[in-house]
Amino acid sequence: MSASSSRTVFTLESKFGNDGYAFWFKLLEILGSQSGHYYDCRNPANWLFLLAKTHLSDVSATEILDTLVQVDAIDADLWRIKVIWANKFSARLSVVYDKRVTETPQKPSFSDGNPTNNNVSVSESTQSKVKESKEKESKGESADKPPVPPKEPKVDKKIFGEFQRVKLTDEEHAKLNERLGEKITAKYITNLDEWIESKNKRVASAYATILSWWHKDGDPTDKSGNKPSGAKPDYSDPSRYAGEQEDLPEWATK
């Protein structure tokens, strides 16, 4: 473990305990498995997988990632658009790529809102690479700038809530109604909408956040709007539990 990595681990453990330690190494595992070694959290499925992999809520994961930016463990510019890139981690992989037919991935560019493809085949002749590099330099362009891959299809989302702060696709809304029931889904949408508005917070995925809160409340599934017997307390409205002694979820104390 390098000195910079040790400092990152120490900071995460000090601030978040074992959750911070586990999150960092699970994140590195995910990055190592990705083509280009970056992770696009703008994709709701990707964000939901990260939360499931690390067993953390939307808010907790976001706070840890913000801390990783502060300690220079992940790139600040890319995280502002919800893309994770660990430059030092990728640099340590250069030894591995020396033995492969692809070059070491470089920091992706999102100048047009989409990731670039950094995996360049070494089957290209050295002469053609040198020529291309000179042509780009003559035009004032960076020789290391990789080509742009095809754009991912845009997914339309509908706006919900009185304050219009909750965005869900038709598929996500249908899945919530199917799993939670329409009344419970409507309640969680209202709670999330009010929470985002009152706290001035941002969530990467409203769908993932609602599922996370629902799990914390004991997975009520009677689809009647009432909680089944034996279910855990409902923390989706933190103000109702302000006087209780039990520990609230982290998001409810913010």
- List pLDDT tens digits, range 190-215: 999 999 999 888 889 999 999 999 99
Q: Are residues 1 and 97 in the same domain?
A: yes
Residue 253 lies in a domain: no
Whole-number pLDDT of residue 136: 61
Is 161 in contact with 216 (CB distance < 8 Å)?
A: no
Structural domains in the chain (count): 2
**Contacts for 220 with CB less than 8 Å, ≥ 6 apart:** 180, 184, 214, 226, 227, 228, 231, 234
Residue 144 lies in a domain: yes
Q: Are residues 183 and 138 in the same domain?
A: no
Q: What is the pLDDT of residues 14-57, one digit of tens each?
A: 999 999 889 989 999 998 888 888 899 999 999 999 999 999 99
Whole-number pLDDT of residue 86: 84
Cα-based distances in Å from 123 to 68, 104, 112, 143, 226: 37, 15, 28, 18, 63
Residue 25 lies in a domain: yes
| pLDDT, the chain, mean | 76
**Positions of the chain with pLDDT under 50:** 117-126, 143, 225, 228-233, 235, 240-249, 251-254
Global pTM reads: 0.41
Question: Which domain covers residue 195, as residue numbers?
Answer: 158-242
Maximal C-alpha separation, the chain: 73
Residue 66 lies in a domain: yes
Q: Are residues 115 and 47 in the same domain?
A: yes
Kindly state the helix (H) or strand (E) to which residue 39 belongs, with its residue range.
strand 38-40
Whole-number pLDDT of residue 33: 87
Q: Are residues 14 and 138 in the same domain?
A: yes
Q: Are residues 32 and 64 in the same domain?
A: yes
Whole-number pLDDT of residue 154: 73
